[in-house]
Amino acid sequence: MRVLDTAALLYWPVAQLADGVCAMSQQVELERVSSQRSLLVQSLDSIEWRDVPSAWLQTAREAAAQSGDLPRLSDVDLDVLALALALDATLVTDDYRLQNTMQFLDRPTQSVGTVGAKQVWKWELRCTGCRATTPVPPTVDRTKKGSVANCEVCGSPMNVKRVR
pLDDT digits (tens, 9 = 90+) for 79-95: 999 999 999 999 999 99
What's the CA angle centered on 144, arms 57 and 32, to 5 degrees? 75
Q: Are residues 44 and 13 in the same domain?
A: yes
pTM > 0.75: yes or no: yes
Q: Are residues 137 and 75 in the same domain?
A: no
Report pLDDT for 143: 84
Report pLDDT for 6: 93
What residues pair up with 150 in beta bridges, in sequence order? 157
Q: Are residues 83 and 137 in the same domain?
A: no
Q: Are residues 29 and 105 in the same domain?
A: yes
What range does the domain containing 134 cover?
123-162
- Total domains in the chain come to 2
What's the CA angle centered on 86, arms 83 and 89, to 5 degrees? 70
Q: How far is CA 134 from CA 71, 72, 78, in A?
A: 13, 16, 22
Work out the angle between the directed axes of helices 75-86 and 54-67 (0-180°, nearest 10): 100
Q: Is the pLDDT of residue 25 over 80?
A: yes
* 49 within some domain: yes
pLDDT digits (tens, 9 = 90+) for 91-143: 999 999 999 999 999 999 999 877 767 788 889 999 999 999 999 988 888 88
